[in-house]
């Protein structure tokens, strides 16, 4: 990476982080008509409470309150929060530091990953689109998005560089961060075989490192077993408490379409149309990517899209779409046309501002 590229990347990262927190602070004051007790508190919403609780107290089988339900959250992100809390003595601050460091790691490796196939302009544009995606504020919140993306993008990058131990290790940690981290196993295996021309004679011993990847998920199953004597207890809670079950992807999409017509106006936009639009948007872009991106990227994109949409009802599709990081490479290629670059940038900024404003008020924003 040349110094100019590094400087541009640093500017994007700094502006993104400072701009996100400055906007959130101002928006809170304007819409709440009061000053927040601290910047940390206006970011403490939804799943954040669960991750902080796990980081501080671990998992529990107690049925008092909802602590037992937090087994559905994977362990690696809370583990990182706890590590940083030893230094900073504040779990919320530690969570935001972890998320932002992970965002920096993800943006840096996304840039380097794109550079392996395309010129610097495409790499910079991919990082910009990644940083201003409508739900990209989750990269700076106490959620798993930035940690998961740092691990998956890094895993792909080091796999492309044929550093399979590092790649697989990052893939393993991704599996311990989110359930769809298991997708890294077939994706990395495809990438390995792609590099070997899909010829058995070219396969070497280093392919065995990829077997490390599922161990992250196995570690999560072990935690389920230790806490509940059932390695698949999380599935029971997903179904019983959140009514989430696996089904065909069109069920969720059709459900979102239907709900867009009977809900209240706000929910029509946020629960109906947003879920449907982002689900369809992801699918269309995956189809486009089949002709322009590497097979390993497309396999990752398609399987992760299936994990998002193959559910009894769509929930947080706009946020989960952020995890399909090769989409930003595809958008970067599309954005080579100046008018499309302006369109993507303008639309992204508009909805990023809207969704972030809702989020810092504690309202539902994916």
Residue 349 inside a domain? The answer is yes
pLDDT the model gives residue 331: 98
pLDDT per residue of the chain (366 residues) written in tens, 0 to 9: 577 788 999 999 999 999 999 999 999 999 999 999 888 999 999 999 999 999 999 999 987 778 999 999 999 999 999 999 999 999 999 999 999 999 999 999 999 999 999 999 999 999 999 999 999 999 999 999 999 999 999 999 999 999 999 999 999 999 999 999 999 999 999 999 999 999 999 999 999 999 999 999 999 999 999 999 999 999 999 888 777 788 888 888 998 899 888 888 988 898 889 999 999 999 999 999 999 999 999 999 999 999 999 988 888 999 999 999 999 999 999 999 999 999 999 999 999 999 999 999 998 888
| CB contact at 8 A, 187 and 296 | yes
pLDDT the model gives residue 198: 92
Distance CA 27, CA 327 (A): 29
Whole-structure pTM value: 0.96
Distance CA 122, CA 139 (A): 21
Tokens encoding 27 = 């928006």
Sign of CA dihedral 82, 58, 356, 346: positive
Burial class of residue 303, CB neighbours in 10 A (0-12, 13-18, 19+): middle
Residue 365 inside a domain? The answer is no
Residue 356 inside a domain? The answer is yes
pLDDT the model gives residue 1: 57
pLDDT the model gives residue 262: 86
Distance, C-alpha 21 to centroid of its chain: 19
| CB contact at 8 A, 275 and 311 | no
Query: What is the domain count for the chain?
Result: 1
Residue 299 inside a domain? The answer is yes
Residues of the domain holding 117: 3-360
Residue 366 inside a domain? The answer is no
pLDDT the model gives residue 4: 79
182: which DSSP letter? G
């Amino acid at each position: 990476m040349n110094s100019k590229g590094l400087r541009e990347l640093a500017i994007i990262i700094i502006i993104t982080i400072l701009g996100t927190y400055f906007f959130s602070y101002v928006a809170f004051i304007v819409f709440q008509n009061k000053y927040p007790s601290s910047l940390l508190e206006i970011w403490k919403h939804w799943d954040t409470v669960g991750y902080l609780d796990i980081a501080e107290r671990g998992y529990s089988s107690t049925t008092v309150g909802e602590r037992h339900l937090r087994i559905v959250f994977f362990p690696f992100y809370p583990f990182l929060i706890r590590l940083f809390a030893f230094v900073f003595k504040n779990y919320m601050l530690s969570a935001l530091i972890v998320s932002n460091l992970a965002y920096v790691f993800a943006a840096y490796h996304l840039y380097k990953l794109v550079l392996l196939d395309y010129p610097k302009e495409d790499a910079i544009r991919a990082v910009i689109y990644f940083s201003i995606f409508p739900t990209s504020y989750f990269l700076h919140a106490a959620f798993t998005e930035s940690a998961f993306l740092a691990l998956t993008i890094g895993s792909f990058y080091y796999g492309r560089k044929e550093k399979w131990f590092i790649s697989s290790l990052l893939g393993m940690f991704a599996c311990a961060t989110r359930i769809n981290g298991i997708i890294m196993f077939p994706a990395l295996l495809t990438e390995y075989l792609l590099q070997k021309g899909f010829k058995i004679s070219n396969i070497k011993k280093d392919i065995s490192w990829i077997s490390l990847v599922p161990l992250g998920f196995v570690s999560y199953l072990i935690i389920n077993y230790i806490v509940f004597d059932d390695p698949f207890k999380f599935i029971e809670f997903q179904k019983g408490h959140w009514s989430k079950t696996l089904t065909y992807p069109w069920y969720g999409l059709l459900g979102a379409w239907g709900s867009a017509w009977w809900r209240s106006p706000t929910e029509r936009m946020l629960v109906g149309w947003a879920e449907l639009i982002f689900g369809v948007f992801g699918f269309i872009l995956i189809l486009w990517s089949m002709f322009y991106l590497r097979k390993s990227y497309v396999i990752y994109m398609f399987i992760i899209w299936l994990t998002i949409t193959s559910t009894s009802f769509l929930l947080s599709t706009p946020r989960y779409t952020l995890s399909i990081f090769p989409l930003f490479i595809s958008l970067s290629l599309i954005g080579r046309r100046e008018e499309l670059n302006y369109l993507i940038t303008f639309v992204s900024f508009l909805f990023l501002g809207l969704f972030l404003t809702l989020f810092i008020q504690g309202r539902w924003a994916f």
